[in-house]
Amino acid sequence: MSTTDPRLHGVDWLRAIVCALAVFLFDARAAVGKDDKPAFEIDVSAGSEYDSNITVNEIDQATGADDFAAVFDADINVDAPLGADTDASLGYSFSQSLHADFTNFDLQTHFASAELSHDFGGFDVGGAYRFVYSRLGGSGFLTLQQLSPSVSFFLGKTFFIRAEYSYTDKGFKNRTDRDAKVHAGGADIYFFLDGVRTYIVAGYKFERENTTAPQFDFDGHNFKLRFSKRIAMGKRDAKLKLGWRYEARDYDNITPSIGVRRDDDRHRLEAELEIPLSDRFYVLADYTYADFSSNLPSADYSQNLVSARIGYRF
């Protein structure tokens, strides 16, 4: 089943959602008074990327060949108080990759989100709506919509816990066998070693994905561990992030091409360093190593991804 009304394409959905959310956010802010000013942030960056194995994870497609790509990203975020204890935020992100050789793998992604949260004193309750529309090789590829309620609270001054449930509806252009509904729930624990300057995040998420084609149904166990540190560089801070993610997928039904049920284990190691050049300009370098193990040959591969960008934030 497709996740989109056939009368609307992904871009039409995106325009409608962004406009509706913008009207809601600013109308709501006007209702609580002009003293509660929204905070705007715009972040743009551009650079280059090297991928040792051009892949599309969502459809288990790996070329085994490497390529370079030009990359561009832009993010717009608006945070606005809707009262003493209620906050709303609206975000939009755009990303584009342009490969030197594998132009059929050029990926363009639009991401829009709206979040609302309320502080009840000892804990916060929030809700988020997220919309993703992506194009692969210049053609429509994926439309995704997600609803996600959450609750969060502090344990003393050292620990912060956030639990979230999400319902996701995914629709693939010309690949309806991959269309899926996903139920997921999990929690992250933040351990602050030096306030927000140095902290560790550990998390777990369970997800159940039900697709149109039974062979793609699976239960997934996701673990993550991330270390984040701000490093003083004169009057400014560099930001270092190190992470590990692990996903175990247990497929419910037999995959016809291999005659057995799929079993996937996916590891990712990630490193990111942001160095300030001025109050606005920065350089960002990141590296990801992925090791995907599967009894389905097309989903069994490793990958190295390296990128460098220069960005401007205001």
Q: What is the Cα–Cα distance from 36 to 305, expressed in whole angstroms?
A: 42
Percent of the chain whose pLDDT exceeds 70: 88
- The pLDDT, as a whole number, for residue 84 is 87
Please check whether residue 245 is in contact with residue 57, taking contact to mean a CB–CB distance below 8 angstroms. no
Per-residue pLDDT at 110 exceeds 60? yes
Q: What is the Cα–Cα distance from 95 to 108, expressed in whole angstroms?
A: 6
Count CB-CB contacts under 10 A for residue 128. Answer: 18
- The pLDDT, as a whole number, for residue 10 is 53
Q: What is the Cα–Cα distance from 125 to 116, expressed in whole angstroms?
A: 9
In sequence order, which residues have a C-beta less than 8 Å from that of residue 57 and are 6 or more positions away? none
Is the CATH number of domain 10-313 2.40.160.10?
Answer: yes
- The pLDDT, as a whole number, for residue 27 is 60
> What does the angle CA 152 – CA 155 – CA 157 come to, to the nearest 5 degrees?
110
Q: What is the Cα–Cα distance from 270 to 252, expressed in whole angstroms?
A: 30
Percent of the chain whose pLDDT exceeds 90: 86
pLDDT digits (tens, 9 = 90+) for 240-262: 999 999 999 999 999 999 999 99
pLDDT band at residue 24 under the 50/70/90 scheme: low
Mean pLDDT (whole number) for 178-182: 98
Q: What is the Cα–Cα distance from 194 to 243, expressed in whole angstroms?
A: 18
Mean pLDDT (whole number) for 190-209: 98
pLDDT band at residue 4 under the 50/70/90 scheme: very low
Count CB-CB contacts under 10 A for residue 82. Answer: 17
Please give the full DSSP string across 249-276, using - where no structure is assigned: EEEEEEETTTTEEEEEEEEEEEEEEEEE
- The pLDDT, as a whole number, for residue 286 is 98
Please give the full DSSP string across 273-302, using - where no structure is assigned: EEEESSSSEEEEEEEEEEEEEESSGGG-EE
Q: Which of 158 and 26 is assigned the larger pLDDT? A: 158
Mean pLDDT (whole number) for 22-35: 55
Nearest of 55, 80, 86, 83 to residue 69 by alpha carbon: 55
pLDDT band at residue 6 under the 50/70/90 scheme: very low
pLDDT digits (tens, 9 = 90+) for 39-76: 999 999 999 999 999 999 999 999 999 999 999 999 99
In sequence order, which residues have a C-beta less than 8 Å from that of residue 234 and are 6 or more positions away? none
- The pLDDT, as a whole number, for residue 2 is 39
b/e for 41-50, b at 16 or more Cβ within 10 A? Answer: eeebbebebe
> What does the angle CA 162 – CA 193 – CA 122 come to, to the nearest 5 degrees?
35
Q: Which residues, listed in sequence order, are joined to residue 95 by a DSSP beta bridge? A: 73, 109
Q: Which residues, listed in sequence order, are joined to residue 135 by a DSSP beta bridge? A: 108, 140
For the chain, the distance separating the N- and C-terminal CA atoms, rounded to the nearest angstrom, is 41
Structure tokens belonging to residue 39: 């905070």
Mean pLDDT (whole number) for 122-141: 98
- The pLDDT, as a whole number, for residue 141 is 98
